[in-house]
Chain A
Amino acid sequence: MWFFGLFKRRKREKSRETAYKRLETILERRRPVAVTEIIPKNEFEENSEKIKERIVDWVSDTFKVEKDRVKVEFEEHNGYIVIITNVLFE
């Protein structure tokens, strides 16, 4: 049987497909996020706990984890608020 195996054509992923996927990843990372609405700083600060709660609710619901296993933090980078969400899975 091994003899016939020699003639079996191996299916190889075409490099074009790999290149296209890599290109999309490279360019996606670089594309600026389209800002449609800017929330005033004080408004954000006043509601930050509410926002955290809603994120925790959503993540807990989506990933079926306990709420205390979801940790949300806000960080400022170049004038943008980056929301960092940690989920501790079992």
Chain B
Amino acid sequence: MAKVIVVTSGKGGVGKTTITANLGCTLAKSGEKVCLIDADIGLKNLDVVLGLENRVVYTLLDVVNGKVNAQEALVRHKQLRNLYLLAASQVATKEMVSPEDMKNIVKSLYPVFDYILVDSPAGIERGFRNAVAAAEIALIVTTPELPAISDADRVVGLLENFGFNDKSMKVILNRFKIKMVKAGEMLTQDDVQSTLALEIIGVVPDSEEVIIATNKGLPVVLNGDMSVSRVFENIAKRLKGESIPVDEDISQISEKGFVAFFKNLFSRKRG
């Protein structure tokens, strides 16, 4: 039976799709069978981040309309053979899908996968309600900026109304800039944790590699910054129940330069 996780935020542009793609790839790399569902109907992007935009034949809307079943609509990843995508339609609107449709789709994929990750659209309207409908765990993505945290807090309130609790909601702090934090010019992970009163499951550094990876259509964990990959590995492990302190993510971010280069080089060879 799959673990169904929704990646949401409230505010747009905080990195939900990038987090979904990279987390999905990391879980698949560790041997799990993973399905990513793009619930951002009308403004789909997950296929682009994964480099699968030319392989999409059927979309989520085709499944809702009964044209094909959910498994027939899946696209397999080029490199990770146990990673699948159920793409969203670009021509449809969020109102064409209901939370009940989403539940049915997830239900049909439930026995086939270990993890189902749903990429939620920004906002708190229909698209958001569709995305969270079938999820048991919510990953709330935020950046260390006021508008993002404020919106995340609003989403936490809504998720509580949907039955989520402190244990089923976790925060991912994205685009974390250690230099700015050290200079006292950015909110720390403790600030975010204390204001949202939820566990932070990962701190992802701000990295140019993410832009380069998106340009290539390869998530950064498959071809890029080792420190970012490690952070996603840590998040995946925490999702599986392993106890890894979040400070390890921060130390990954801090370790840059000559020594870190060699450390990464040798650990890459080991892996």
Chain A interface residues toward B at CB < 8 A: 14-17, 19-20, 22-24, 26-27, 30
Q: A28 — nearest CB in chain B belongs to which residue?
A: B195
Q: Which 7 A-B pairs have the closest CB atoms?
A: A14-B184, A15-B185, A16-B184, A26-B150, A20-B191, A27-B153, A19-B187
| Bound-complex Cα distance A16 to B191 (A) | 9
Measured CB to CB, the closest approach of chain A to B3, in angstroms, equals 30
Interface SS of chain A = helix
Report which of B154, B181, B187 forms a contact with A20, defined as CB distance below 8 A.
B187
Chain B interface residues toward A at CB < 8 A: 145-146, 149-150, 153-154, 157, 181, 183-188, 191, 195
B195 CB contacts on chain A under 8 angstroms: 20, 23-24, 27
Measured CB to CB, the closest approach of chain A to B183, in angstroms, equals 8
Q: A12 — nearest CB in chain B belongs to which residue?
A: B184
Whether A22 touches B188, Cβ cut-off 8 Å, given contacts A27-B153, A30-B154, is no
| Bound-complex Cα distance A23 to B196 (A) | 10
Measured CB to CB, the closest approach of chain B to A9, in angstroms, equals 14
> Please, could you name 5 A-B residue pairs with CB atoms under 8 Å apart, sorted by A?
A14-B185, A19-B187, A20-B195, A23-B146, A26-B146
| Bound-complex Cα distance A18 to B257 (A) | 31
Report which of B146, B153, B157, B183 forms a contact with A19, defined as CB distance below 8 A.
B146
B154 CB contacts on chain A under 8 angstroms: 30
Additional A-B contacts beyond A27-B153, A30-B154 (19; CB < 8 A): A15-B184, A15-B185, A16-B187, A16-B188, A19-B145, A19-B146, A19-B187, A20-B187, A20-B195, A22-B146, A23-B146, A23-B150, A23-B191, A23-B195, A24-B195, A26-B146, A26-B150, A27-B149, A27-B150
| Bound-complex Cα distance A26 to B152 (A) | 12
| Bound-complex Cα distance A27 to B188 (A) | 17
| Bound-complex Cα distance A17 to B191 (A) | 10
| Bound-complex Cα distance A24 to B149 (A) | 11
| Bound-complex Cα distance A16 to B188 (A) | 8
B150 CB contacts on chain A under 8 angstroms: 23, 26-27
| Bound-complex Cα distance A22 to B184 (A) | 15
B184 CB contacts on chain A under 8 angstroms: 14-17
Measured CB to CB, the closest approach of chain B to A22, in angstroms, equals 6
Measured CB to CB, the closest approach of chain A to B166, in angstroms, equals 15
